[in-house]
Chain A
Amino acid sequence: MEKFVQLHGLVAPLDRANVDTDAIIPKQFLKSIKRSGFGPNLFDAWRYKNHGEPGMDNSTRPLNPDFVLNQPRYKGAQILVARENFGCGSSREHAPWALMDFGFRAVIAPSYADIFFNNCFKNGLLPIVLAAREVDQLFAEVAVTPGYALRIDLPAQTVTTPGRASFKFAIDEFRKHCMVNGLDEIGLTLRHADKIRAYEAQRQVREPWVFT
């Protein structure tokens, strides 16, 4: 997994609540058996004026000029600012894959759906929770500030605005440790292989039907 320590990145705002993973990456692109290549179809139904299918040349498709990510000032954005319950719905990990493939490294929102939130950490995409009024402030500032960029410091757990306002965010120690070091979670878990085997042995006695 890609490490995440510090990031100074351009911000794009997505001002709607309850953005679901069907919107982030529509179902027709879930037929891929790869982890990469989803970026051109991120927010496909909102981003393009025509219907997208796998295998299309996305560079020739008509763009929806009203969709925020199509505005030139947000080109190259690495931080997405969003509203509450971001990533609700389907468990598809293709959603964080698509966000990462597009170039995002962090999302900032007042809240997330649980499965999406969890999936982000497995891929080096940092989902930051800030208070609703702090997110409101970011939306207000980015709207009036071309080139608006934020500085994210994961070890310090801070988001700093160009005006030097600094917002602290919370994160589980274990997740932070894995993100900062880019650790392979399976490798970490397998350090406990003996414990897993011991657990299985006692469960087999207690609930043998689970193991047949």
Chain B
Amino acid sequence: MSAETAQNARRSGGASLFTDQRFRSLFYQALVVGLLGAFIVFIVFNTAQNIEKRGIQTGFDFLSAPAGYDIAISPFIEYTAQHSHGRVFLVGLFNTLLVSALGIIAATILGVFLGVLRLSPNWLVSRVVYCYVEMTRNVPLLLQILLWYAIFLGLPSVKQSMSFFNDTFFLNQRGLILPEPLPSDGFMWVPIALIIGLVASFIFAKWAHKTQDATGKIYPVFLINTAMILGLPILAFAAMGFPLDFAYAELKGFNFKGGMTIKPEFTALWFALSLYTAAFISETVRAGIQSVSHGQTEASEALGLRPSWTMRLVVLPQALRVIIPPMTSQYLNLTKNSSLAVAIGYPDIVQSFGGVTLNQTGQAIEVIFITMLVYLTISLVISSFMNWYNNRVRLVER
């Protein structure tokens, strides 16, 4: 008997189809897909039946119907009770985007700052940050939102408003009241100068890089660019003779007239989201910096690179690859957590569109579907941007 036939005999001997590894894994996969499909068919069928039984009208017509309720905060688009539910959707969407974007910015700045401080050799500084992180991230976010809201509602009433800088700013339980900027002719040059500054600094950075490659000369790019981005608008502002007036708020009767108000609902949500997420980000940043071995710093310094360059050229590029994936999760968390706005009545998409509109129209499936789609879209945009960035800083290994 040749070796080959012996092997064949062994292979067929006593083997059923079910002991075959490939068949078995195919079988289980097919089983799972089949069960999942059956479950989905059941859900859809059941829902359709229930909707029909109760005589609920389906469809997206409700979006053009008048909403009939007020929304307290709509900084970007005009909204009154006569506007449609579709408009409510936009107001809610913008409010969600506003608090998420500002939250991400504040949490990132504060988190990076705290993460670096946590590594400080100063015992007191690192302990204070440690206490902050542990206290913030171990208390449920909802409680923190309620706490901040309670603090802001505990401020003096309108009549007893706190006044700052000679009646320029007022603080009371209805919010922070600021003078409203009224740009006059020529103010448009300020944003134009800002754009010119941004473009110029981009070009300068490229030019400085090329010049360094060619001649070795190193320019203080960061300093010069900061000066351009901040300086050009200020210059333009001064050159046009300061074309900006302010409408100061005044107490008339029971409320303030004029000026702009930042509502306590927004501030409470923004504070809580930023402070809570910053605690997580600071831990991420600390872990990222600590993940770069001390040998890297030593090798860099032994080559004569100064500590600031070592940080910029050697440590940070390596720390970023550790920091970015969990940072992405934190950004996604913050965005989704902003839906806790519903607890204090900040009109984000869940509170306004997903809450009041749903209750008034009864179009639960459509409203929930749209709202979920919004979060899914925002999350996918954030994570694809972060993945793109992560790919740029990725390490090549064997």
Query: Is this pair of chains taken from one and the same complex?
Result: no
Residues of chain A at the chain B interface (Cβ within 8 Å)? none
Residues of chain B at the chain A interface (Cβ within 8 Å)? none
